[in-house]
């Protein structure tokens, strides 16, 4: 296994990270690079499990340490979100759709970042560019990635290219996007079986806002009321994580995908709270600020936080 | 002009930086974005002047400060190489072929980096991808960029894609690549009219090697003997620049494009000298280390320096 090239997404892997690793490794395999294998930077979540089982694809190996490994990064380009010791790895390529982060390389590499709704959209176009046919299974995985990351096209990160790509992919895999997407979201938002810790860390990313160390998580549900009974437990978990992860603040987006709004739970220092309130133009009440129309961490939560803390 | 979008390359602009700004702005214009204009991050050099005059293209405006400007970066992705105050600009896109540097953005942007010999190669393929016809003039500029950056295909950074692209472009512009390339190199290596300062800063880039602040310049000539009379003057200029630019070391590659070798002039601290000698496996003699087959700063000088200073 020493000479394998691992395609791997971010920690707290979501469906786009995991399926992008699988589909991009598949593309490389089709192009003759047989030593490229998919990996996940942690345990896969319920939604992704549902997707992989639906299309009968085995979950990828888990990669916990990148030291001396050859890797291709998908769906992230920040050291804090990557597998441990990523700067001791040989990074061969990066395919992403986020803001440009802090990963640096010692030599020129292929790095393609595009402001679309999902990495899956970019990978689908790379199959096309390379003239490689997309199998039913790979089409299903990429469609799932796009539907998941754009919350069924509702997120402001969603572009026309994402929609057009899903249309093409749905024809190949034979699944109706809306129907499949709702089933997938249901699998994701099955929170009864989840602990407060699962909820906090299920989709959790670290950021550095001009020196302010932050963690920003997100959980999407069909109805915020489902989360109400666990609210105090989740806040306690957030306060614990502040200390254990050495952070200045943690925001957890409780996102109602039907009402299209997010309740932004906050814990952190007084200075961080000030920045958080500035970012979202409100006062923290009962540990949160409720924001209509906020669905996207990447487009609606990270940029205002970046600006608020900019020196 | 306030709402223009400037396409701009690195400081100490070379032919690839300047022509990439012009050709990418042209592509955007063809695609209907009329407010995109090319710019240069400093005075253009003799080689680039020759190229622009040959194809009858006006030199771009000079952009000295990026504060509050909308910019598209070509041919670089490091803050230290960019127009002043680049982090106060709104960076819309990056097209490059170097190692991944330290530029970060607050929102997702289009960033395409590909390990090919020149940015011109990438831009030529973007015309194709977008189905935009390449004019004679634009073909000439992109061909010049590739021939310049790959030193007429001799640099180890040169890929098959660069060669194939030049073949296509030469048919469009009607110029023989070898013949045109030699004329261009002659224009570049006309060093008689150059001061020691011109020679040092004509193609000079700053780097940070694990905290060691370095400047690495390059001048390409047809015969190293032409530079011999100016050697002491150049070294004096390098020592002066160490202080004025607050650097720990400066390397100037005196590159003989015919013999395919570089004399690496060095000035710097004792610690930096140790790292430099480690990087190139030799002792500094008469202020330099001579290396056969070394033509590329990016591929043969920066990576060994990065490794040598890595903590």
With a cut of 50, say whether residue A184 has pLDDT above it. Answer: yes
Identity of the residue in A100, A114, A157 whose CB atom sits nearest the CB atom of B105: A100
Chain B, residues 155-174, CB within 8 A of chain A, namely 157
Average pLDDT, chain A: 95
Q: Does B303 touch chain A (CB under 8 A)?
A: yes
d(CA A58, CA A55): 9
With a cut of 70, say whether residue B47 has pLDDT above it. Answer: yes
d(CA B25, CA B102): 24
Taking phi over 0 as left and psi of -120 to 50 as alpha, with beta for the rest, A14 belongs to beta
With a cut of 70, say whether residue B60 has pLDDT above it. Answer: yes
* Parallel/antiparallel/unpaired status of strands A261-268 and A288-292: antiparallel
CB within 8 Å: B115 and A102: no
CB within 8 Å: A302 and B106: yes
Helix (H, G, I), strand (E, B) or coil at A286: coil
- Over residues B199-240, the pLDDT tens digits come to 999 899 999 999 999 999 999 988 898 899 899 999 999 999
CB within 8 Å: B99 and A106: yes
- Over residues B267-297, the pLDDT tens digits come to 999 999 999 999 999 999 999 999 999 999 9
With a cut of 80, say whether residue A29 has pLDDT above it. Answer: yes
Number of A–B residue contacts, CB under 8 Å: 77
Identity of the residue in B101, B108, B157 whose CB atom sits nearest the CB atom of A104: B101
Question: Smallest CA–CA separation between B122 and chain A, in Å?
Answer: 11
Residue spans of the domains in chain B: they are 5-187, 196-309
Binned at pLDDT 50, 70 and 90, residue A3 comes out as confident
Q: Does B299 touch chain A (CB under 8 A)?
A: yes
Least Cα distance to A255 among A209, A298, A213, A195 occurs for: A298
The reported pLDDT for the residue numbered B174 is 97
CB within 8 Å: A97 and B114: no
A75-81 mean pLDDT: 96
Give chain B's count of helices (H) and strands (E): 10, 11
B40-66 mean pLDDT: 95
Selected residue of A81, A89, A100, A103 to mutate for chain B interface (largest B Cβ count, 10 A)? A100
A240-267 mean pLDDT: 95
| A76 labelled binding-site residue | no
d(CA B254, CA B191): 12
The topology (CATH level 3) of A196-309 is Diaminopimelate Epimerase; Chain A, domain 1 (3.10.310)
Alpha-helix residue ranges (DSSP H) falling in A150-287:
160-173, 177-188, 196-201, 231-244, 270-280
A276-289 mean pLDDT: 96
Among chain B residues, CA nearest to A108: B99
CB within 8 Å: B114 and A114: no
The reported pLDDT for the residue numbered A188 is 80
Q: What is the CATH number of domain A5-186?
A: 3.90.1640.10
User: Sign of the CA dihedral A73, A74, A75, A81?
Assistant: negative
The reported pLDDT for the residue numbered B295 is 93
With a cut of 50, say whether residue B19 has pLDDT above it. Answer: yes
CB within 8 Å: B99 and A115: no
Binned at pLDDT 50, 70 and 90, residue B1 comes out as very low
Least Cα distance to B74 among B133, B137, B130, B141 occurs for: B141
Binned at pLDDT 50, 70 and 90, residue B173 comes out as very high
Query: What CATH superfamily is the domain B5-187?
Result: inorganic pyrophosphatase (n-terminal core) (3.90.1640.10)
CB within 8 Å: A99 and B110: no
The reported pLDDT for the residue numbered A149 is 94
With a cut of 90, say whether residue A77 has pLDDT above it. Answer: yes
The reported pLDDT for the residue numbered A1 is 45
Percent of the residues in chain A that have a pLDDT greater than 70, as a whole number: 99
Q: How far is CA B303 from the centre of its chain?
A: 16
User: What single string gives the DSSP state of each residue in A81-94?
Assistant: GSSBTGGGSEEEEE
């Amino acid at each position: 296994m020493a000479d394998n090239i691992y395609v791997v997404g971010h920690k707290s892997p979501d469906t786009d990270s995991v399926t992008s690793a699988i589909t991009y490794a598949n593309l490389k395999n089709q192009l003759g690079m047989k030593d490229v294998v998919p990996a996940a930077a942690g345990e896969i979540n319920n939604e992704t499990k549902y997707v992989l089982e639906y299309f009968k694809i085995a979950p990828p190996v888990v990669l916990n340490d990148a030291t001396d490994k050859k890797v291709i990064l998908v769906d992230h380009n920040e050291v804090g979100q990557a597998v441990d010791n990523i700067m001791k790895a040989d990074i061969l390529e990066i395919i992403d759709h986020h803001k440009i982060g802090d990963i640096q390389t010692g030599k020129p590499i292929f790095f393609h970042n595009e402001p679309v709704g999902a990495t899956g959209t970019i990978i689908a176009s790379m199959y096309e560019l390379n003239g490689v046919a997309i199998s039913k299974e790979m089409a299903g995985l990429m469609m799932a990635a796009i539907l998941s990351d754009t919350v069924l096209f509702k997120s402001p990160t969603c572009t026309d290219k994402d929609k057009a790509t899903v249309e093409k992919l749905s024809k190949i895999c034979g699944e109706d996007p809306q129907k499949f997407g709702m089933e997938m979201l249901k699998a994701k938002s099955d929170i009864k079986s989840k602990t407060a810790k699962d909820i906090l860390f299920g989709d959790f990313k670290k950021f550095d806002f001009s020196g302010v160390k932050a963690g920003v998580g997100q959980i999407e549900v069909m109805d915020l009321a489902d989360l109400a009974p666990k609210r105090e437990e989740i806040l306690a978990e957030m306060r614990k994580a502040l200390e254990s992860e050495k952070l200045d603040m943690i925001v957890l987006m409780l996102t109602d995908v039907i009402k299209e709004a997010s309740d932004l739970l906050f814990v952190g220092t007084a200075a961080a709270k000030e920045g958080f309130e500035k970012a979202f133009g409100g006062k923290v009440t009962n540990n949160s600020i409720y924001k209509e129309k906020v669905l996207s961490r990447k487009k609606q939560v990270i940029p205002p936080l970046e600006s608020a803390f900019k020196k």
